[in-house]
């Protein structure tokens, strides 16, 4: 067994104490930052238990596979749809409309509804689709 002399140079550095110190500093830093982020106390408003009396502004136009047109849940003809949308447009100039068309509906029915919306100058239009899962 070889005995090391006191004046001999060390060939390697022991990094274990430095890593221990780094881990302790990391834990202290994490604890101090989470403890210092308390936030500001704010008196938040309470939600009402009664349902809102305001009707939703977005109108839904649904076209079924047989070509029947519904405004929200009521069946309408193209003339009824035009007059009803004109009334809604007079109340709310930025009337948002979504169109839900059945996958089997003829494309011309959707184009006719889109043309009617363009004629009434309704520009906030959404087309409802279904996500395809692969």
Residue extents of the structural domains in the chain: 59-127
In the structure, what pLDDT confidence band is assigned to residue 40 with cuts at 50, 70 and 90? Answer: low
129: which residues sit within 8 A by CB, 6+ positions away? none
Q: Class assignment of domain 59-127?
A: alpha beta
Q: Is the pLDDT of residue 99 over 70?
A: yes
Cα–Cα distance, 17 to 36 (Å, whole number): 28
Q: Is the pLDDT of residue 30 over 70?
A: yes
**What pLDDT shows up at residue 130?**
74
pTM over 0.75: no
């Amino acid at each position: 067994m070889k005995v090391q002399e006191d004046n001999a140079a060390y060939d390697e550095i022991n990094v274990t104490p430095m890593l221990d110190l780094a881990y302790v500093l990391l834990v202290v830093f994490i604890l101090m930052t989470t403890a210092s982020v308390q936030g500001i106390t704010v008196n938040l408003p309470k939600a009402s238990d009664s349902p809102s009396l305001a009707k939703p502004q977005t109108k839904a136009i649904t076209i079924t596979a047989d070509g029947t047109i519904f405004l929200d849940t009521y069946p309408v003809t193209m003339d009824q749809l035009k007059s009803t949308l004109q009334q809604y447009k007079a109340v709310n100039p930025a009337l948002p409309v979504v169109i839900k068309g059945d996958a089997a509906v003829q494309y011309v029915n959707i184009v006719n509804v889109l043309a009617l919306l363009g004629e009434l100058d309704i520009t906030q239009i959404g087309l409802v689709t279904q996500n395809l899962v692969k």
